[in-house]
């Protein structure tokens, strides 16, 4: 996983709430068995509308998405994170995220930043007025900066450390292999065994 320390980029304003994962990537795009190329499914239905914000050339190359509350609710499809990343996003800012989506994103190096609605409103106004305005997302300082304003954001220390080091969860867990084996040795006899 690529390390995430600080990211500076332009931002796309997505003025919608409850952007569920079926909107982020419709189910028909989930049939691939590889890990790449999901960008074509990102917001597939909405992108057919020429007026959709990400079709506006002014936001081409945006690497930060600024969305309304309840972004990423719904299904557990990690494809939603892959679609955003494959499209070129490294950060999504929203007042609130769906929980499974948030977990998935942080594991994949897509930083999901929760800012209050007021901050999101300010960012929307700023990048709509001037799409070339850059937004700086500083994970080390846990701070978003834009056009002379700054907002702190919360992220637990462990997720932050893992993102900043670019660490893989399985490798981290296997440090505890002895504990796993010890736990397995004392599982109750009535437990379910499939085979």
- In contact, 13 and 123? CB cutoff 8 Å: yes
Matching residue, tokens 């930083």: 111
| Number of residues forming the site for other proteins (CB under 8 A) | 59
Which region, judged by CB under 8 A, interacts with other proteins, from 5-13, 59-67, 85-93, 180-188? 180-188
Q: Can you list the positions of beta strands (E) in the chain? A: 6-14, 64-67, 91-94, 111-114, 134-138, 143-146, 149-152
Site string for other proteins, 22-41 (x = CB under 8 A): xx--xxx-xxxxxx------
Stretch that binds other proteins, among 53-61, 129-137, 139-147, 165-173 (CB under 8 A): 165-173
Q: Which two tokens stand for residue 46?
A: 């909405």
Candidates 7, 47, 107, 142: give the one binding other proteins (CB under 8 A): 107
Residue 123: CB minimum distance to other proteins, A: 16
- Residues counted in the chain: 195
Q: Which residues of 126-164 are buried (b: 16+ CB within 10 A; e: fewer)?
A: bbbeebeeebebbbeeeebbbeeeebebebeeebbebbe
Which of positions 84-103 make contact with other proteins (CB under 8 A)?
Answer: 96, 98-100, 103
Binding site for other proteins (CB under 8 A): 16-18, 20, 22-23, 26-28, 30-35, 45, 68-70, 73-79, 81, 96, 98-100, 103-104, 107-108, 117, 156-158, 161, 169-170, 172-174, 176, 179-180, 183-184, 187-195
């Amino acid at each position: 996983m690529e390390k995430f320390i600080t990211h500076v980029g332009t931002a796309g304003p997505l003025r919608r709430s409850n952007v569920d994962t079926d909107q982020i990537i419709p189910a028909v795009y989930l049939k691939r068995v590889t890990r790449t190329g999901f960008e074509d499914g990102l917001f597939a239905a909405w992108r057919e509308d020429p007026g959709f914000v990400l079709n506006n050339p002014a936001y081409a190359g945006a690497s930060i998405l600024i969305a309304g509350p309840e972004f990423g609710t719904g299904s557990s499809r990690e494809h939603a994170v892959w679609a955003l990343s494959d499209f070129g996003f490294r950060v999504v800012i929203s007042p609130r995220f769906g929980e499974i989506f948030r977990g998935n994103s942080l594991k994949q190096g897509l930083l999901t930043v929760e800012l209050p609605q007021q901050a999101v409103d300010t960012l929307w106004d700023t990048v709509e007025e001037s799409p070339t305005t850059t937004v700086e997302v500083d994970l080390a300082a846990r701070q978003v900066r834009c056009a002379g304003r700054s907002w702190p954001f919360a992220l637990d220390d462990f997720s932050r450390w893992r993102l900043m080091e670019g660490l893989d969860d399985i490798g981290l867990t296997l440090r505890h292999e002895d504990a796993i084996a010890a736990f397995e040795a004392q599982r109750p006899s009535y437990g379910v065994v499939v085979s």
